[in-house]
């Protein structure tokens, strides 16, 4: 089916915009930002909630978010939204720090003020407290590791052709600074026709490892931001281990979406965002450094100091251990870090496995309904167990290289129907002359089946009049 130039019904698409509950929620949101002290709601103990999988339960979760009810926010891949109690605690802690800058009333414990926070979140990620750094974001984590590694001319770094600038930018620095060769692996890209399997991804990495000498690092996204494909991270790390190559995983989209277990995955470094799917405040992230970086000393035994701590005020104090050295970058934003921790606690109480299952359930619904309603649209996110994530990328238009038209489609979807999604651009094949463009939809724990139904209905409606 081609894009239809239709002069069909000019029915009011604005009727899709939801207004009914907007005022109430806007009230909550306004007060949260206005500095007016509100009576805090009693904190919900998510462990105590019965039937933690029922629709009623997820409705209760949804109510914890102050997102504008007149629109449906489906761009968590760019940034998330703090739950109400997290926002309130954040605001209170900001006031406390402003009022008592000297000792912060001992609210965050003793120097370096984050030890308790780290201990609270580490088990939820299958890590020890001395392996978790509360970073600023994924970019911060990736830059700290890539720019800290002691590369030399002739070293090879394997990465993929679908990485984010948060990785490609520091990779470009070490390429020019040290003469490192950065090799982009051609990832299999699902285009809706041929099947893809986890094995296809593992083979792509295996071939690249076997084709290159002196591979010093593998950097890849657990979920690519371009197509929303989840890569078999554990298997790729296992392959790397067989060749004594350390792994650095870009987990911008997995923290808060997947039930992560870093020990089980056995990567060396994992950099993720706190502000996206984990719904913490801006400039928060999680950085995992396995076992004080000790395995790196083993793999890189020919280099005296494989990892320089380039983003630390304590790089000279080796006796403190890498976690504390990397955590301490001077005075920090403790209220923001605490807010991230509160959000993590909510996720842990609900159960990260349940959250992952719920996100994938909604994502599968989204992919299935879109493919059914618009069979000629191109789907770039596999609807396949093990490769699926909470991101859905697809393009309903016949010319997938037409960025302008797709951007207009995205904008009209927001302005006329109230669904907020974004676009992404990528090359299906590394040597493609053109970019392919797609809409990218995020489904999260604060969505429900009706949100997905509404989105698909809106896309179809817009498509037939576009
Ligand atoms: C795959 C990937 N990596 C890194 C980033 C950067 O994330 P942050 O803003 O947390 O640094 C993004 C942001 O969208 C991303 O999609």
**pLDDT tens-digit map of 148-203:** 999 999 999 999 999 999 999 999 999 999 999 999 999 999 998 888 999 999 99
Tell which atom from ligand 1 comes closest to the C-alpha of 285: 10
Closest by CA to 395, choosing from 408, 385, 387, is 408
For ligand 1, atom 12, the nearest C-alpha belongs to 252
Q: What is the pLDDT of residues 386-404, one digit of tens each?
A: 999 999 999 999 999 999 9
What pLDDT was estimated at residue 6? 38
In the structure encoding, which two tokens stand for residue 86, read together?
Answer: 């997290």
Q: What is the pLDDT of residues 297-354, one digit of tens each?
A: 999 999 999 999 999 999 999 999 999 999 999 999 999 999 999 999 999 999 999 9
What pLDDT was estimated at residue 40? 55
Tell which atom from ligand 1 comes closest to the C-alpha of 139: 11
For ligand 1, atom 14, the nearest C-alpha belongs to 78
Ligand 1 within 6 A of CB of 138: yes
Evaluate whether 143 touches 269 at the Cβ level (below 8 Å): no
Mean pLDDT of 77-100: 98
In the chain, pLDDT over 90 holds for what percent of residues? 87
Ligand 1 within 6 A of CB of 117: no
Evaluate whether 238 touches 178 at the Cβ level (below 8 Å): no
Residue 37 has pLDDT above 80, yes or no: no
Tell which atom from ligand 1 comes closest to the C-alpha of 140: 11
In the chain, pLDDT over 70 holds for what percent of residues? 90
What pLDDT was estimated at residue 131? 98
Residue 303 region by backbone torsions, left for phi larger than 0, else alpha for psi between -120 and 50, else beta: beta
The CA 381 to ligand 1 mean position distance, Å, reads 18
Q: For a substitution probing ligand 1, which of 77, 137, 166 has the most ligand atoms within 8 Å of its CB?
A: 166
Ligand 1 within 6 A of CB of 273: yes
Ligand 1 within 6 A of CB of 306: no
What pLDDT was estimated at residue 50? 66
Residue 77 region by backbone torsions, left for phi larger than 0, else alpha for psi between -120 and 50, else beta: alpha
Contacts of 102 (CB under 8 A, 6+ apart): none
DSSP-based three-state secondary structure for 135: strand
Residue 4 has pLDDT above 50, yes or no: no
- Tell how far CA 151 is from the center of its chain: 28
Evaluate whether 80 touches 67 at the Cβ level (below 8 Å): no
Ligand 1 within 6 A of CB of 225: yes
The CA 278 to ligand 1 mean position distance, Å, reads 13
The CA 251 to ligand 1 mean position distance, Å, reads 8
Q: For a substitution probing ligand 1, which of 134, 224, 225 has the most ligand atoms within 8 Å of its CB?
A: 225
Ligand 1 within 6 A of CB of 221: yes
What pLDDT was estimated at residue 42? 62
Q: What is the pLDDT of residues 109-149, one digit of tens each?
A: 999 999 999 999 999 999 999 999 999 999 999 999 999 99
More confident of the two residues 46 and 67? 67
Ligand 1 within 6 A of CB of 137: yes
Q: What is the pLDDT of residues 209-240, one digit of tens each?
A: 999 999 999 999 999 999 999 999 999 999 99
Closest by CA to 67, choosing from 16, 13, 22, 20, is 22
Tell me how far apart the alpha carbons of residues 115 and 103 are, in angstroms, rounded to a whole number.
16
Rounded to a whole number of angstroms, the CA Rg of the chain reads 23
Q: What is the pLDDT of residues 355-376, one digit of tens each?
A: 999 999 999 999 999 999 999 9
Residues forming beta bridges with residue 156, ordered by sequence position: 181, 215
Q: For a substitution probing ligand 1, which of 137, 162, 164 has the most ligand atoms within 8 Å of its CB?
A: 164
The CA 177 to ligand 1 mean position distance, Å, reads 23
């Amino acid at each position: 089916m081609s894009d239809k130039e239709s002069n069909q019904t000019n029915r009011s698409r604005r009727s899709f915009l939801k207004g009914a509950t907007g005022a109430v929620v806007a009230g909550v949101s306004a007060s949260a930002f206005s500095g007016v002290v509100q009576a805090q709601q009693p904190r919900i103990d998510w462990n105590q909630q019965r039937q933690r999988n029922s629709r009623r339960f997820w409705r209760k979760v949804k109510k914890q978010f102050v997102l504008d009810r007149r629109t449906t926010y489906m761009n968590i891949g760019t940034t998330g939204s703090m739950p109400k109690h997290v926002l309130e605690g954040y605001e209170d802690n900001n006031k406390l720090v402003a009022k008592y800058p000297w000792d912060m009333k001992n609210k965050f414990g003793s120097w370096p003020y984050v030890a308790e926070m780290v201990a609270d979140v580490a088990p939820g990620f299958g890590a020890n407290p001395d392996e978790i750094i509360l970073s600023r974001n994924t970019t911060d984590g990736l830059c700290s590791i890539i720019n800290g590694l002691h590369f030399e001319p002739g070293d090879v770094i394997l990465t993929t052709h679908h990485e984010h600038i948060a990785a490609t930018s520091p990779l470009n620095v070490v390429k020019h600074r040290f003469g490192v060769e950065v090799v982009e692996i051609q990832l299999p890209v699902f285009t809706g026709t041929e099947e893809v399997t986890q094995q296809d991804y593992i083979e792509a990495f295996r071939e690249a490892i076997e084709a290159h000498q002196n591979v010093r690092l593998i950097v890849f996204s657990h979920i690519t931001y371009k197509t929303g494909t989840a890569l078999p991270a554990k298997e790729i790390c296992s392959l790397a281990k067989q060749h004594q190559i350390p792994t650095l995983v870009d987990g911008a989209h997995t923290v808060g979406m997947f039930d992560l277990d870093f020990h089980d995955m056995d990567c060396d470094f994992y950099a993720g965002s706190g502000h996206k799917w984990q719904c913490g405040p801006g400039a928060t992230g999680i950085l995992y450094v396995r076992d004080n970086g000790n395995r790196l000393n083993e793999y890189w035994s020919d280099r005296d100091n494989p990892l320089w701590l380039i983003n630390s005020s304590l790089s000279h104090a080796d006796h403190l251990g890498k976690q504390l050295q990397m955590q301490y970058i001077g005075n920090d934003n403790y209220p923001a870090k605490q807010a991230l921790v509160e959000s993590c606690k909510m996720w842990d109480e609900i159960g990260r496995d349940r959250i992952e299952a719920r996100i994938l359930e909604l994502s599968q619904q989204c992919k299935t309904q879109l493919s059914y309603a618009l069979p000629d649209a191109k789907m770039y996110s596999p609807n396949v167990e093990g490769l699926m994530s909470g991101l859905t990328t697809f393009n309903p238009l016949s010319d997938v290289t037409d960025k302008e038209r797709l951007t207009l489609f995205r904008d009209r979807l927001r302005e006329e129907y109230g669904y907020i999604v974004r676009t992404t651009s990528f090359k299906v094949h590394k040597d493609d002359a053109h970019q392919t463009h797609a809409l990218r939809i995020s489904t999260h724990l604060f969505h429900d089946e009706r949100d997905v139904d509404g989105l698909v209905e809106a896309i179809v409606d817009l498509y037939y009049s576009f």
